[in-house]
Each structure stands twice: as C-alpha cells, then as structure tokens.
Amino acid sequence: MDTTKMIIERALSQGRRLLSEHESKELLRAYGIPVTREVEVRSSGDLVDALRAIGFPLVIKGSSPQAAHKSEQGLVKVDIRNDHEAVTAFEEIMSRMEGGDKAVLVQEMVKGTRELMAGMTRDSQFGPCVMFGLGGVFTEILKDVAFRVAPLEKRDAMEMIREIRANRIVDNIRGLPAADLDRLIDILLKLGEIGLKNEIIKEIDLNPIILSGSQPIAVDALIVLSSDT
C-alpha cells in the first residue's frame, strides 16, 4: 500500500478525521512537497537521539490530536540551542498537553523571515480549490489570498502568486533572494493534484511555508479528512 493510503487508513481506523502534523507532512512529502526534517518523540529517553539526528538550532512542538493552534497553547518552542533548553521545552510541552497519545516533534529550525501559506479546500460545487497567500499572523490580519479551481496549470499558479497584494514578498527585496518560483508553483500544482486524487481529503493547510533563502519549506501542516464517506 502506498504512503498516502496507509496514513489515511490508519487515521480512519482510529476514528480520526484530523491527521497529525507529522502524518500530514509524511503524506505531503510523498508527493514531493518540501517539509521540515523531524522526529516524533514520546519519551525523554528518545529525546537525545532525536536532538542528535536533527541538530541545533531546532524547534520542539506538541503533537496530539488536540494540538491544532499549537502556539496559542504554548506548545511551540523555537530556536532551541542545546540539550538543556531541549529537555526543559520537552517537559513543559508534555505537561501542557492532555490525553493519552501525546508526543512532541523535534524539528529542524527553518531560518527565514518571509512566511507564506498554501492550501486546498474542497468546495461542494467546484471541487478542490488551491489557495495561496501570506502566512503566519498575516493570514488572518490581511486576508491576502488567491484561489484557483484544480487542476492548475503552471500559468494559473504563477497568476495566483502575482495576484496577492503583497506579491513583492517573493521578489528580491531588502537583500533577500527572490523565491524559487518553480518550487513554489510546483507546491500549488501538487496541492491541486492531491485534492483531485484523494476524494477523502477535505482540506490541506500549509501555514507557514517559510522561505529559507529562496527555498520554500512547509514548517506546519494540517490535513483534514471528509466525514461524508
């Protein structure tokens, strides 16, 4: 069975409609969408191996079915620089989460100041629609988003990127390199493709996608499955 099917079947068999951040990224990675390197950790005994595998600086965040809006719940610690900071963050985050199946993600820290977002929503009339816009706090503040119905051609994706008011964010500006537009376009095309191929996926949210130099990398991801099938 392929990765996508396996991840979806496992969630459904457990009665879940939300994929964890880690599962969401595994699925996206299988389609070639760039996501953070990360390890899921359930016990302090496994923490040190994960720290060595990822390398400092890194990010530790809570991972549980209830952990949507993680930063609001104090479940995201960025720029962790040594073992001591990591152990403190691990203990604090674990103690803040409820429920049996709690874990943290030890994740590569993506350095970059520009945060974008992309996603897919399934419209009852039009089917899968792809969105693109500003990420992080600006998603809600500015609502600067472009939509297209899938399937997308390269030209549609390019138009979406140019359509947002803040489109200069992908340009060479203030000493930052221009974004790799081919990679960005590829992410948008793939989101449409995933929507068309997987009727069960209702929603995909990549927020933020951070530009690391010119390279877009999804540092947070959420996939929601439909409850009608």
Q: Could you tell me which stretch among 50-58, 147-155, 176-184, 214-222 binds Mg ion (CB under 5 A)?
A: 214-222
Q: Could you tell me which stretch among 88-96, 141-149, 155-163, 207-215 binds Mg ion (CB under 5 A)?
A: 207-215
The DSSP symbol for 173 reads B
Instruction: Please answer whether residues 192 and 120 qualify as being in contact, where contact means their C-beta atoms are separated by less than 8 angstroms.
Output: yes
Q: What is the three-class DSSP state of 190?
A: helix
Nearest approach, Cβ of residue 107 and Mg ion (Å):
12
Burial grade of 144 (CB within 10 A; 0-12, 13-18, 19 or more): middle
- Is 21 a binding residue for Mg ion by CB under 5 A? The answer is no
Select the binding partner of residue 61 from ligand ADP, Mg ion, none (C-beta < 5 to 8 A, by kind): ligand ADP
| Region of residue 31 (phi > 0: left; psi between -120 and 50: alpha; otherwise: beta) | alpha
Residue whose entry in the numeric block shows the structure tokens 């191996």: 49
Looking at the Cβ atoms of 107 and 198, the one nearer to ligand ADP is 107
| Tokens (6 digits) for 104 | 């943290």
Instruction: Please answer whether residues 38 and 53 qualify as being in contact, where contact means their C-beta atoms are separated by less than 8 angstroms.
Output: no
Helices (DSSP H) in 97-209: which residue ranges?
137-142, 154-163, 181-197
Q: Could you tell me which stretch among 46-54, 88-96, 155-163, 204-212 binds Mg ion (CB under 5 A)?
A: 204-212
- Is 220 a binding residue for Mg ion by CB under 5 A? The answer is yes
Q: What residues line the site for ligand ADP (CB under 6 A)?
A: 36, 59, 61, 69-71, 76, 78, 107-110, 115, 136, 208, 210, 219-220
Nearest approach, Cβ of residue 75 and ligand ADP (Å):
7
Select the binding partner of residue 36 from Mg ion, ligand ADP, none (C-beta < 5 to 8 A, by kind): ligand ADP
Nearest approach, Cβ of residue 202 and ligand ADP (Å):
18
Instruction: Please answer whether residues 171 and 180 qualify as being in contact, where contact means their C-beta atoms are separated by less than 8 angstroms.
Output: no
Looking at the Cβ atoms of 23 and 220, the one nearer to ligand ADP is 220
Nearest approach, Cβ of residue 61 and ligand ADP (Å):
6
Q: Provide the residue type at 187 as one letter.
A: I
Pick one of 207, 209, 223, 225: the residue that binds Mg ion (CB under 5 A). 207
Q: Tell me the C-alpha distance between 181 and 157, whole Å.
A: 10
Instruction: Please answer whether residues 57 and 77 qualify as being in contact, where contact means their C-beta atoms are separated by less than 8 angstroms.
Output: no
Looking at the Cβ atoms of 186 and 220, the one nearer to Mg ion is 220
| Tokens (6 digits) for 88 | 């403190």
Per-position x/- string for 156-195, each x denoting binding to Mg ion as judged by CB under 5 A, each - no binding: ----------------------------------------
Q: In the complex, which residues of this chain contact Mg ion (CB under 5 A)?
A: 207, 220
